[in-house]
Amino acid sequence: MNQIQTVTSERTGEMYYVVRHSSGLKIYIYPKAQNNSSYAVFGTRYGSIDNCFQVSDEPAPHRVPNGIAHYLEHKLFESKEGDAFARYAKTGASANAYTSFDMTCYLFSCTENVYDSLKILLDFVQSPYFTEQTVQKEQGIIGQEIRMYDDDPQWRVMFNLLGALYHTHPVKIDIAGTVESIAKITPQLLYQCYNTFYNLNNMVLCIVGNVEPKRVLELCDQMLKPSKPVSIQRIFEPEPETIVRSRVEQKLSVAVPLFEFGFKEQAANGRATSKQLAETDILLEALSSPASPLFRRLLDEGLINEASFGHEYFEGPGFASVIFSGESKNPDAVAEEIRAEIQKIRRGGLSAEAFKRAKNSVYGRNLAALNSTGSIANSLVSLDFAGRELFSYINAVAGADRDSVLRRLDSQLLPETSALSVVSPVQ
């Protein structure tokens, strides 16, 4: 029997359904009848950091090659019947997939034939087909992708930073692995990881747009294959509180130096709550958005350009950090200005005007995102995997107060946990 819950937001006037399907899958259905398009995401709580795990009914943990989650994503589009992209071409849907540090998602968007496209999604994600021949063929393809990323400045500046921040956590390992690690992948290992993490109890389906919930559920009843409940323990080595090094630099073919400046924080107690996430987003908006004194000063001094400078709160199972990024002729000066501005706010706080402006900006941006079916679908899946909920987060932004936001500085943006990564031009 399917269990259906309605989630409504008086603040936004929006609503969606959460269904605990009899197969074990959690389904989000977010009807937006006024939209011409629909967007669906079928995701599993399985990413590149999950290279050591233990299943509840097995006596010992498994350690698998780095990059296997990304490899599995590539291979799942293939079947005995052919390539899933060719099937989508017949429905007119635009399909894609991605593997991140802590999840793998398969998605499509369309303006028509939404149920036919959903049927394809539910079919191929539940129908693995791996052979020695196809696995070996993919090793060459992904090997080329890995070598391409080895020379990608944006990719290198990010992973160089993660290597400077983290001693043991696998977040510092390239999502695609290495040429050596993927050479160890076999059909048997792919099936083992698939059967562990692609269990419907470990997955979420979300569909947003011009859809009828009844028809979506009828299709799910028809297509979903019941899964036995499973408990998966992700195993990480203890991560020290310290950073590895405070600065790392690599020379590549760039016109202007790229930088990422990160502040590591402790994530041992689990993921941030909706309230903590909202407070962090407001704090970072006040600190470094285009409306902030720091941004204006960096721009006036020619240290950044307006298009590239930004920030993000980067967090997942066992890791969390704040990262500032951009292009600069003097990345070290940018890092020093950021440190100084943080200390200034730590000593003197935020003005009521600056706090209100930042809060309204974050709130408005999240309200605007509710007009995008893709933003809604991807947010619902990622928030679910993090143990958070969309409307609760928006309410937390609306209810945030200045003192609580400033208290985030007690555990965030600490100067001793900061590291600078630079990719500079080859001389």
Catalytic residue positions?
73
Q: What are residue 316's DSSP bridge partners?
A: 319
Residue-wise DSSP of 193-246? HHHHH--GGGEEEEEEES--HHHHHHHHHHH--------EEE--PPPPSS-S-S
Which alpha helices (DSSP H) does 267-310 contain, by range?
274-288, 293-300
Residue 359 burial class via C-beta count within 10 angstroms: exposed 0-12, middle 13-18, buried 19 and up: buried
Residue-wise DSSP of 338-379? HHHHHHHHHHH---HHHHHHHHHHHHHHHHHHTT-HHHHHHH
Go through the chain and tell me how many residues it has.
Answer: 427
Residue 105 host element (H or E):
strand 104-110
With beta carbons less than 8 A apart as the criterion, state whether 37 and 110 touch: yes
Distance CA 66, CA 196 (A): 16
With beta carbons less than 8 A apart as the criterion, state whether 50 and 169 touch: no
Q: What are phi and psi of 211, to 5 degrees?
A: -130, 155
Distance CA 186, CA 252 (A): 34
Distance CA 409, CA 411 (A): 5
Q: What are phi and psi of 117, to 5 degrees?
A: -70, -40
With beta carbons less than 8 A apart as the criterion, state whether 47 and 203 touch: no
Q: What are phi and psi of 183, to 5 degrees?
A: -65, -15
